[in-house]
Amino acid sequence: MKSVNSEMESIGFLVGIPYTLFVREIGRKTMLVVEGEPVHAVRGGFHKTSGSYLYTFYKARYERKDGRMAGLKVYMKNRSFVEVFYRVKKYLEFLEHEKVKVR
C-alpha cells in the first residue's frame, strides 16, 4: 500500500494537512472530507501519540453567500484508514454509477 497521502491523491482528494486532512470538491457547494486524528495511549497519566490515526469521512455542504456550513452527513467515524478509504472509493463509484456530475 502507498502512503495515506498518495492513496487519497489517487482518488482525487487534495491533501490539506498530511495524514490528517483530505478534501475533494464534488459540487459548487459540496465537499467530501476525510479527517484523521492521532490515537492517544495513556501511560502513567501522560498522553502519548501511538503513531496511528483514526479517520472520519463526511460530506459537507456550504452556503455560497457567507461560506458557512449548511449541512453535514457523517458516513464513518473513528475508523482505520483502510476502512475509510474503502468506503470513500465505494461512495465515488456510486456517484459515477448514478451519473452524478462530480467536479
Looking at residue 51, its pLDDT comes to 61
The reported pLDDT for the residue numbered 86 is: 97
The confidence score (pLDDT) of residue 65 equals 78
CB proximity list for 100: less than 8 A, separation 6 or greater: 26
pLDDT for the residue numbered 64:
73
Residues, the chain: 103
For residues 98 and 79, give the distance between their C-alpha atoms in angstroms, rounded to a whole number.
Answer: 26
What strand order describes the sheet that includes 46-62? 14-17, 21-25, 30-43, 46-62, 69-79
Average pLDDT per run of 10 along the chain, which is 103 residues long?
Answer: 89 95 93 90 52 90 82 94 96 86 68
Residue 22: φ, ψ to 5°: -135, 135
Taking CA atoms, 74 is separated from 8, 27, 45, 50, 53, in Å, by 18, 17, 32, 25, 18
